[in-house]
A and B are shown apart, each in its own frame.
Chain A
Amino acid sequence: MSRRVYITGLGMISAIGNNVPESFLSLSQSKTGIGKINHLTTRYKDEFLAGEIKLSNEALADLVKDNNPALNRNSYIAMLAAKEAVINSGIDTNDGLRTGVISSTTVAGMGKTELYYKEMFEKDDHLNVLDTHDCGDSTERIADYLGNVDYVTTISTACSSAANAIMLGCRMIKHGQLDRVVVGGVDALSKFTFNGFNTLMILDREWCKPFDENRKGLNLGEGAAFVVIEGENTLNLRKGKALAEVVGYANANDAYHQTASSPEGYGATLAIQQALTMSGLTPSQIDYINMHGTGTPNNDLSESFATKAIFGNQVPKFSSTKAFTGHTLAAAASIEAVISVLSLQNSMIFPNLNFTTAIAETGLVPETTLVNTPLNTILSNSFGFGGNCSSLIFKKA
Chain B
Amino acid sequence: MDTITSYAHIKHNQVSVNGEIIFQSYPSLSLPEFLSEAYKALGVSYPKFHKMDAQCKLGFLCTEFTLNGTSFLTENDITKTAIVLSNAASSLETDRVHQHSIDDKSNYFPSPAVFVYTLPNITIGELAIKHKITGENAFFVSEQFDAGLLVNYTETLIQSGTEASVMGWVEVDGTNFEAFIFLAEKQKYTNKNAIFKPLNKTSVITIYNQTIWTH
Contact = CB atoms under 8 A, between A and B. Distances in A.
A192 B98 CA distance: 8
Given A110-B95, A135-B90, A156-B121, A251 B103 contact: no
B207 to A, nearest CB: 24
Contacts of B133: 253, 255
A35 interface: no
B141 interface: yes
Nearest to A259: B116
A195 B104 CA distance: 13
B136 A387 contact: no
18 contacts: A110-B95, A155-B138, A156-B120, A157-B124, A171-B156, A175-B156, A192-B118, A196-B110, A198-B110, A199-B111, A199-B115, A251-B137, A253-B137, A255-B129, A256-B129, A258-B129, A270-B79, A388-B121
A388 B137 contact: yes
Contacts of A114: 99, 102
Interface string A360-397: 00000000000000000000000011111000000000
Interface residues of A, number: 49
B110 A267 contact: no
A251 B121 CA distance: 13
A320 to B, nearest CB: 22
B189 to A, nearest CB: 22
B68 to A, nearest CB: 20
A254 B139 CA distance: 16
Interface of A: 106, 108, 110, 113-114, 117-118, 134-136, 153-158, 164, 168, 171, 175, 191-192, 195-201, 250-259, 266-267, 270, 274, 278, 384-388
Contact of A253 (B116, B123, B135, B161): B135
B172 to A, nearest CB: 15
Given A153-B140, A156-B90, A196-B110, A255 B128 contact: yes
A135 B139 CA distance: 12
A81 B94 CA distance: 30
B117 to A, nearest CB: 8
A119 to B, nearest CB: 11
B119 A253 contact: no
A198 to B, nearest CB: 8
B118 A387 contact: no
B48 to A, nearest CB: 10
B211 interface: no
Interface in B130-157: 131-141, 156
A253 B111 CA distance: 25
Nearest to A108: B90
Contacts of B99: 113-114, 117, 192
Given A158-B121, A251-B136, A267-B134, 19 more contacts: A113-B99, A117-B99, A155-B139, A155-B140, A164-B138, A192-B98, A196-B118, A198-B110, A251-B137, A251-B138, A252-B134, A252-B135, A258-B125, A385-B116, A385-B125, A386-B125, A386-B128, A388-B124, A388-B137
Contact of B121 (A118, A157, A196, A254): A157
Given A110-B95, A117-B103, A253-B133, A387 B90 contact: no
Given A114-B102, A385-B121, A253 B140 contact: no
Contacts of B35: none
Given A135-B90, A192-B99, A195-B102, A258 B116 contact: yes
A253 B98 contact: no
A274 B160 CA distance: 11
B31 interface: no
B102 A157 contact: no
Contacts of B128: 253-255, 386-387
A385 B56 CA distance: 14
Q: Which of A113, A171, A197 gathers most chain B CB within 10 Å? A: A171
A254 B134 contact: yes
Contacts of B136: 250-253
Contacts of A201: 112
A235 B123 CA distance: 39
A253 B156 CA distance: 18
B17 interface: no
A199 B110 contact: yes
Contact of B122 (A113, A258, A266, A270): A258
